[in-house]
């Protein structure tokens, strides 16, 4: 029993450190509570919440199932296409950036600079890219593809870098020692290690991009977002409800599919 | 199916034994990808020619953002602090609310399969809703302003932290839990003393990580009127006041970088 007590006594006591952290956390939390205000909440807010609920329970089935260029089905497929192409564009752009940011491939200053660039790319909000790219391509789904492509870079490149930095170089050394050419080293030494991780990360990002693509319509970059916002702003809750239902089902399906594919990739 | 169309290639080993190597599925996957890309290009009017010709416009806009309009700093700080306030409170409320949801959704703690399935469905439904849409709905209910942003961020955080937390709880070592139950503790006591300490560092780390992301999310919520710096972005881009947009982006990058560095420091300590 004495040894246990002695060990307990011997543990470092950093009471001031802990006190300071706790104090800072409490102050920050206390400050943030200032964001709460119920002064704008009134009877009409409650009424609207009720209406939204009614709209979701009684969706506009006509809009959901007809087949034309304005229908939900068409717009959902378009949203899917935006996310899909955008992910591919982002993936292609991320690979060189990831190699430039990996500290075991390039010198440290280069890696650090590329990382800084990635942080800047990641921090600029998606909608800002959307608004800027619309000036390049004119409003439409094309701008959406480019927006998704650029916003994907931040996360994709970061996760690719992690994979590159964890490369097992022993394999490459042994390949050099038995006389493999550079191409063979890349094809049989590096590709098998990286490809499955890259693919898995990209599929995960595609899953996220579905959600991002569904709000791009807000700035006119195509997809289901625009009709959803219009329906909500004009209080057509049954239309908004049917769009939301379609969107939720599509996103759930894709999540299911992407989970299956990634599980298969990991198991090999 | 695929193996029947393209029968596996037989290889005779030196010992005389026949083994079959399955044909690669790469051609099929490539074919599917090419068809999907072709139709996506059609649907989204993707046009490489236009892109190459006009991509310069994108950098022209960036050029106009430099140098940023330093004097817009004063208007900016208030909105930036609002954004931080929103994301901090939203992350806090969200990660606290996520605990009961996650516990109810973990199949090794709750015995009833109906409840587990119900809470898992609630969490994944919440996760499918884009934050901007929840924020828009929240502005209708709670009025314009940071309150709507707080609600949207809280809901997102519940879904995100909730999912990761129930996965952690389900992967926790249940040995101590069973041992404590066999000693006569109630399930709640056993959970508190056996599972909770195992998942606590992971939970705190996920919450911090979610907070980092929320600062970035909160930056655009103002676009639909949910408070914070998004409103300024919308106005400045509308007025084509690009130097001010540049200033906002610079301020955001610095803030997010600082927050990420601090939170990364604590997350490394936790794990």
Domain ranges of chain A: 58-267
What mean pLDDT is predicted for residues B238-255? Answer: 87
Asked if residue B78 has pLDDT above 70, the reply is: yes
A132 and B58 within 8 Å at the Cβ level: the answer is: yes
A137 and B50 within 8 Å at the Cβ level: the answer is: yes
Question: B227 near B89, Cβ under 8 Å?
Answer: no
Beta bridge partners of B9: B21
pLDDT of residue A268: 62
Helix residue ranges, H only, A102-236: 108-123, 126-137, 141-165, 169-177, 182-184, 191-213, 225-233
A255 and B50 within 8 Å at the Cβ level: the answer is: no
B220 and A125 within 8 Å at the Cβ level: the answer is: yes
Mean pLDDT of chain B: 87
Residues in chain A: 268
B200 and B257 within one domain: yes
Beta bridge partners of A33: none
Share of chain B above pLDDT 70, in %: 99
| Closest residue in B to A254 (Cα–Cα) | B128
- Number of other CB atoms surrounding residue A36 within 10 Å: 13
| Closest residue in A to B40 (Cα–Cα) | A81
pTM above 0.90, yes or no: no
Question: A251 near B123, Cβ under 8 Å?
Answer: no
pLDDT of residue B264: 87
| Closest residue in A to B248 (Cα–Cα) | A124
B99 and B8 within one domain: no
DSSP per residue, B17-68: -EEEEPPP-HHHHHHHHHHHHHHHHHHHT--HHHHHHHHHHHHHHHHHHSS-
Asked if residue B101 has pLDDT above 70, the reply is: yes
| Closest residue in B to A46 (Cα–Cα) | B141
| Closest residue in A to B129 (Cα–Cα) | A248
Which stretches in chain A have pLDDT values below 50?
Answer: none
pLDDT of residue A81: 92
Last residue of a domain, one of B19, B43, B65: B65
How many DSSP H helices and E strands does chain A contain?
A: 13, 0
Report chain B residues whose CB lies below 8 A from the CB of A80.
Answer: 40
Report chain B residues whose CB lies below 8 A from the CB of A124.
Answer: 249, 252-253
Interface test with A, best of B128, B138, B211, B254 (most A CBs within 10 A): B128
B90 and B15 within one domain: no
Out of B86, B128, B249, the one facing A35 most closely (by C-beta) is B86
- CATH number of residue B228's parent domain: 1.10.3720.10
A145 and B46 within 8 Å at the Cβ level: the answer is: yes
B31 and B112 within one domain: no
Interface test with B, best of A41, A123, A249 (most B CBs within 10 A): A123
Evaluate the omega torsion of the peptide bond into residue B133 and state whether it is cis, within 30 degrees of 0. no
Asked if residue B98 has pLDDT above 90, the reply is: yes
CA distance B27 to chain A (A): 17
Question: B157 near B91, Cβ under 8 Å?
Answer: yes
Report chain B residues whose CB lies below 8 A from the CB of A36.
Answer: 89, 147, 150
Number of Cβ pairs < 8 A linking chain A and chain B: 162
| Residue written as token pair 């800072």 | A24
| Closest residue in B to A121 (Cα–Cα) | B253
pLDDT digits (tens, 9 = 90+) for B180-189: 999 999 888 9
pLDDT of residue B69: 79
B90 and B49 within one domain: no
B256 and A124 within 8 Å at the Cβ level: the answer is: no
pLDDT of residue A166: 87
Out of B50, B92, B145, the one facing A40 most closely (by C-beta) is B145
pLDDT of residue A224: 86
Last residue of a domain, one of B20, B45, B65: B65
What mean pLDDT is predicted for residues B136-159? Answer: 88
Tell me the C-alpha distance between A215 and B40, whole Å: 18
B87 and B47 within one domain: no
Element (H, E) at B12: strand B9-12
B91 and B24 within one domain: no
User: What is the pLDDT confidence band of residue B76, given thresholds at 50, 70 and 90?
Assistant: confident
| Closest residue in A to B146 (Cα–Cα) | A35
B143 and A32 within 8 Å at the Cβ level: the answer is: no
A128 and B233 within 8 Å at the Cβ level: the answer is: yes
User: What is the pLDDT confidence band of residue B241, given thresholds at 50, 70 and 90?
Assistant: confident
Q: Which CATH architecture does the domain made up of A58-267 adopt?
A: Orthogonal Bundle (1.10)
pLDDT of residue B1: 67
Task: Kindly give the interhelix angle for B196-221 and B230-238, rounded to the nearest 10 degrees.
Answer: 20
What mean pLDDT is predicted for residues B112-133? Answer: 89
Torsion from C-alpha of A144, A150, A153, A156, nearest 10 degrees? 0
pLDDT of residue B169: 92
**Residue A164, CA atoms < 13 Å, CB-side half-sphere:** 21
A228 and B133 within 8 Å at the Cβ level: the answer is: yes
Number of independent structural domains in chain B:
2
pLDDT of residue B11: 81
The parent domain of residue B10 ranges over: 2-65
**Residue A39, CA atoms < 13 Å, CB-side half-sphere:** 6
């Amino acid at each position: 029993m004495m040894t246990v007590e002695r060990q307990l006594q011997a543990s470092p006591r950093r009471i001031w450190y802990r006190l300071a952290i706790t104090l800072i956390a409490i102050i920050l939390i206390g400050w943030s509570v200032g964001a709460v205000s119920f002064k704008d909440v009134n009877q009409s807010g409650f009424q609207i919440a009720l209406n939204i609920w009614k709209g979701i329970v009684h969706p506009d089935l006509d809009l959901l199932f007809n087949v034309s260029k304005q229908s939900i089905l068409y717009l959902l497929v378009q949203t899917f296409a935006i996310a899909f192409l955008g992910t591919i564009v982002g993936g292609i752009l991320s690979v060189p950036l990831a190699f430039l940011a990996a500290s075991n491939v390039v010198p440290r200053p280069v890696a650090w600079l590329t990382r800084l660039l990635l942080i800047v790319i990641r921090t600029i909000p998606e909608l800002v890219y959307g608004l800027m790219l619309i000036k390049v391509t004119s409003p439409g789904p094309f701008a959406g593809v480019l927006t998704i492509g650029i916003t994907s870079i931040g996360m994709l490149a970061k996760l690719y870098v992690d994979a590159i930095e964890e490369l097992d170089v022993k394999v490459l050394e042994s390949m050099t020692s038995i006389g493999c050419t550079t191409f063979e080293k890349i094809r049989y030494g590096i590709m098998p290690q990286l490809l499955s991780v890259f693919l898995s990360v990209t599929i995960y990002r595609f899953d996220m991009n579905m959600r991002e693509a569904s709000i791009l319509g807000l700035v006119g970059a195509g997809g289901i977002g625009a009709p959803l916002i219009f329906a909500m702003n004009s209080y057509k809750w049954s239309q908004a409800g049917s769009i939301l239902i379609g969107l939720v089902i599509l996103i759930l399906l894709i999540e299911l599919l992407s989970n299956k594919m990634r599980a298969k990739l990991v198991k090999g | 199916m695929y193996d029947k169309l393209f029968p596996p290639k037989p290889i005779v080993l030196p010992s005389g034994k026949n083994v079959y190597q399955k044909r690669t599925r790469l051609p099929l996957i490539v074919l599917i990808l090419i068809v999907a890309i072709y139709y996506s290009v059609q649907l989204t009017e993707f046009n490489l020619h236009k892109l190459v010709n006009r991509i310069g416009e994108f950098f022209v806009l960036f050029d106009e953002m430099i140098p940023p309009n330093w004097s817009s700093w004063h208007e900016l700080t208030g909105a930036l602090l609002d954004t931080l306030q929103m994301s901090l409170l939203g992350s806090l409320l969200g990660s606290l609310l996520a605990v009961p949801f996650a516990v109810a959704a973990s199949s090794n703690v709750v015995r009833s399969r109906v409840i587990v399935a119900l809470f898992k469905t609630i969490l994944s439904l919440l996760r499918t809703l884009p934050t901007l849409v929840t924020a828009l709905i929240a502005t209708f209910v709670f009025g314009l302003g940071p309150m709507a942003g707080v609600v949207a961020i809280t809901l997102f955080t519940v879904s995100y932290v909730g999912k990761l937390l129930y996965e952690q709880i389900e992967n926790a070592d249940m040995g101590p839990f069973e041992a404590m139950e066999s000693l006569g503790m109630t399930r709640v006591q056993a959970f508190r003393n056996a599972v909770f300490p195992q998942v606590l560092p992971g939970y705190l780390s996920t919450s911090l990580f979610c907070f980092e992301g929320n600062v970035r999310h909160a930056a655009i919520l103002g676009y639909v009127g949910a408070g914070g710096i998004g409103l300024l972005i919308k106005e400045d881009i509308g007025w084509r006041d690009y130097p001010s947009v540049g200033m906002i982006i610079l301020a955001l990058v610095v803030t997010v970088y600082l927050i990420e560095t601090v939170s990364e420091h604590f997350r490394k300590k936790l794990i």
